[in-house]
Structure 1
Amino acid sequence: WEPGRFPNRPRSRFTLAELPEHYDALLFLQNESLEPVFSEHRRELTEDAARHVAELYRSMLDRSAAPVDEIQRFTMQLVWCLFAEDLGMLEGYPLQATVEALLKEDDPDSAKEIGYLFQLLNQKGDHNRKGRFAGTRYVNGDLFARPAAVYLDRAELLHLKQAAEFNWREVNPTIFGSLLEGVLGDDRRSEIGAHYTHEADIMKIVAPTIVRPWRER
């Protein structure tokens, strides 16, 4: 920000009474090295990220790329990786690197390549963790117990590439699901059984798999 100039984004508006709840937007006043966090900007980013994931999800469903339950599992595993890469839990951005490599191929086999990444995340030990997968490690729990493998066409790979380019550290996981639901539309939600999950229930998954490991680093 420069005196005399009035940027309109990113921005955060709040009353003086609401100041304690929005102190993170004023971090730059405390220390020049701290970046302000703007709630409106974060929501816009979350909306854009949800839109790209929803378009990918809807495209897979429309062409029956796999059974519905596998598409759902595949999407959940993708979203976890997107968060984990930007939170530093997956070093080297293996998902993003895989997608970029696939887009350079004439006949990309995304089911094999992305499916292999998901298999590694369900595998203990250091075997086969080489190249772009060197920074992967075993993910405890059931999320990758059944690694999903879905073939993506080029347009879907581009949606995934665009989604991966967001800074997922700034995506709000507690509202991501409800935004994704909204983008899908009523008919599609009813067809596949996608319904809003309360923040408390979301955090039962997000807290132990993403938030807690990051804080304990």
Structure 2
Amino acid sequence: MMQAARQQALGYVRALPAEEPQSLFVLVVDVGYCIDVYSNFAGVGDSFVPFPDQARFRLPLAALADEGTRLLLRQVWLEPRELDPSRRDARVTRELAGYLAGVSAQLERAGHPAETVAQFLMRCLFTMFSEDVGLIPKASFTGMLRTYSTPELREFLPDALRGLWATMDTGGFSPDLKARLRRFNGKLFHDATALPLTADQMALLLKTAEADWTEVEPAIFGLG
């Protein structure tokens, strides 16, 4: 029934006059049960796909009790382009690049060579990405940074990072992450240098780690 209703809705889209603005969303409603959400940010004909993905496009009616769901539907009607994943990814990437630029500038002013700083931050970035895509346990690296951000432990952060990255280079058990890690090849973590951080630098790095790295554009891995 929902598929038939979707095809009917797409028929309405195809019947719109050519001068009408491009439709970005199609909502298919089973009254009293659910709302199916489809998007077409590519602007290609009537190629509407499940939004945000195949697993989450169906909103049960009970989900309307959630503020996040209501905000999503509000944006569908009032700010549909703000939901474009490419725009969101670019916005998140710019924000994180700003944090990293702040850390980089401070470390270079402290006398660390630019190449050393760039490689250090690249290892941090890739480790953040790894926890968000499940290559290492979820939230494990962020939790580690949070632990070592305290005044009494911050001086030990470089040692902890070197230990973690040495384990990622070879594979094995990481005491700080409390997990057995696979081996990461490519030499990124081979003989890895870790730099000491001030409280301000630690705060910026932690903000960066707390972001969702699945929403970050791959170009950020070319920083430095």
1:47 equivalenced with 2:76 (yes/no): no
- Residue type matched to 2:126 in 1? W
Give me the TM-score of the superposition, normalised by structure 2: 0.61
- Residue type matched to 1:158 in 2? A
Residue matched to 2:168: 121
Q: Cα–Cα, structure 1 residues 116 and 108, in superposed 2: closer, same or farther, change >3 Å?
A: same
1:98 equivalenced with 2:144 (yes/no): yes
Contact (CA 8 Å) 1:91, 1:135: kept in 2 or not? no
Instruction: From the CA coordinates, give the structure whose radius of gyration is larger.
Output: 2
Post-superposition CA distance 1:41-77 (Å, at most 9, x none)? 221111111111121112111112x333221211111
Gaps of 5+ in 2: 1-38, 61-71, 73-82
Whole-Å Cα distance in 1 between the matches of residues 214 and 119 of structure 2? 22
How far 1:141 sits from its partner (Å)?
1.8
- Does 1 or 2 have the higher relative contact order (CA < 8 Å, sep 6+)? 1
Residue matched to 1:160: 205
How far 1:86 sits from its partner (Å)?
0.2
Contact (CA 8 Å) 1:61, 1:68: kept in 2 or not? yes
Residue matched to 1:213: none
Residue matched to 1:145: 190
Residue matched to 1:89: 135
Residue matched to 1:198: none
Higher strand share: 2
- Residue type matched to 1:80 in 2? F
Identity value in percent: 18
Post-superposition CA distance 1:9-48 (Å, at most 9, x none)? xxx995844764x846565895338x97632222111111
- Residue type matched to 1:94 in 2? S
What CA RMSD, in Å, does the superposition of the two structures yield over aligned residues?
3.3
Aligned-partner SS, 1:122: helix
Q: Cα–Cα, structure 1 residues 63 and 13, in superposed 2: closer, same or farther, change >3 Å?
A: farther
Whole-Å Cα distance in 1 between the matches of residues 94 and 199 of structure 2? 23
- Select 1:80's aligned residue among 126, 129, 132: 126
Whole-Å Cα distance in 1 between the matches of residues 40 and 57 of structure 2? 19
How many aligned residue pairs are there? 165
- Select 1:71's aligned residue among 98, 105, 117: 117
Aligned-partner SS, 1:32: strand
Give me the TM-score of the superposition, normalised by structure 1: 0.63
